[in-house]
Amino acid sequence: KLQNRDRGWPTFCRGWGKLPFDRSGTDLTAHAIRALHAWYPQMEMMFKDKASAISQAISRGFEYLAAKQNPDGSWSPLWFGNQDHPDEDNPIYGTSKVLLAYRDTGRMQ
């Protein structure tokens, strides 16, 4: 229930996007997807009534990631900027986190 309306996950609390910690981030969303995916088989056995909601949350997370992909194919993280980048962005970090989510869920092509 922490997932934001934009389908991504924030740092600490679901929010309105006005403060950095309540905005969704690609790095945070990728991390949440990986965690939910890793635990999905156990949750499916223990909480059968929640399995569909978890699967849908993961799908919404991937929709968020697709919407936030940069034109060059990279993803920018919410946190962990690079002071040497002109915009203090860190697309290497963001992209690596997102690609791990795609890999771990079997969505790499």
The secondary structure element, H or E, covering residue 53 is helix 51-68
Helices (H) and strands (E) in the chain, counts: 3, 0
Structure tokens at 10: 């924030």
Q: Which of 28, 34, 31 is closest to 13 using CA atoms?
A: 28
C-beta of residue 29 within 8 angstroms of C-beta of residue 61? yes
Share of the chain above pLDDT 70, in %: 96
What confidence tens digit (pLDDT) does each residue in 66-109 have?
A: 999 999 999 999 877 767 777 778 899 999 999 999 999 999 86
Q: How far apart are the first and last CA of the chain?
A: 30
Total-model pTM = 0.88
